[in-house]
Structure 1
């Protein structure tokens, strides 16, 4: 497996994990605001980063916002579509391309496409872990989003 295929597999896992979290949150009767906020943060962040990778302005996109689970479902579909399209057109030589962007505080940064793609995957997994901790604390079975489970 080459590097592009590895990155694509990581994003297949990301999309799978997002769908599994979404399915669980849709079944939970009492909507936990903190859990929904963490999940929407993952999805909004994915949107911000893919926008930056496309060379577009992300300054007006939210990072944190209180939205309901139905809106999260729309974000999951949008994220999966935009990420899949971006990765389909990505060549291995594109991974070292430097992207300039401003963060939500209007500070300028530069990172490689490879570093951004890696960050997005790890950022989402971190927050899905937080979601699972909160689910368990509320007596709800955590969602198995382990990469090895996905690969099985």
Structure 2
């Protein structure tokens, strides 16, 4: 397994932990307004879906305009945790499909952005960005949960490694 794939698997594991935890709380928790980076937990999670989608499309060769034209599909998920959960599941399957087709994650790739210009990086570099972005926003969710009087759930990489080790027996 490549490092990029393992880190993405961690990202999926951590997202599932957050989603399962939120599902165990009163339903209104995901939609309650708080003073934070985003107005609600569901808004943070939807943002994470959009970002993961944008990078997957970019990694798959879509142009900036193609990505922008297609990202609107997430608007129907606003304030609907069932739809947001579905998007997370679909994205995980699509990322796994992407991983199954890649042979060289250290290959240089070039991305064009109308404001930021040209970026030369690797597939691994972008995957690490996706994971880092998700970690940042899972922290937002944890802070928001605490603000609403609920505990968070541990999603550190080391917990993923321990759980993975335990599942191997």
TM-score by length of 2: 0.77
1:58 is paired with a residue of what secondary structure?
helix
Kindly tell me: are residues 63 and 133 of structure 1, through their superposed partners in 2, closer, same or farther at Cα, counting changes over 3 Å? farther
Aligned length: 145
Task: Kindly indicate whether residue 89 of structure 2 is the aligned counterpart of residue 74 of structure 1.
Answer: no
Larger radius of gyration: 2
| 1:41–1:64 Cα contact (<8 Å) kept | no
Residue in structure 1 matched with residue 109 of structure 2 by the alignment: 98
RMSD over aligned Cα atoms: 2.0
Task: Kindly indicate whether residue 49 of structure 2 is the aligned counterpart of residue 43 of structure 1.
Answer: yes
Structure 1 segments unaligned to the other structure (5+ residues): none
Q: How far apart in 2 are the matches of 1:86 and 1:38? A: 25
1:110 is paired with a residue of what secondary structure?
strand
Task: Kindly indicate whether residue 14 of structure 2 is the aligned counterpart of residue 17 of structure 1.
Answer: yes
Stretch of structure 1 that moved more, 56-65 or 132-141: 56-65
Residue in structure 1 matched with residue 143 of structure 2 by the alignment: 133
Q: How far apart in 2 are the matches of 1:31 and 1:81? A: 27
Q: How far apart in 2 are the matches of 1:77 and 1:7? A: 19
TM-score by length of 1: 0.85
Kindly tell me: are residues 90 and 74 of structure 1, through their superposed partners in 2, closer, same or farther at Cα, counting changes over 3 Å? same
Task: Kindly indicate whether residue 156 of structure 2 is the aligned counterpart of residue 146 of structure 1.
Answer: yes
Structure 2 segments unaligned to the other structure (5+ residues): 32-39, 163-169
Stretch of structure 1 that moved more, 25-34 or 129-138: 25-34
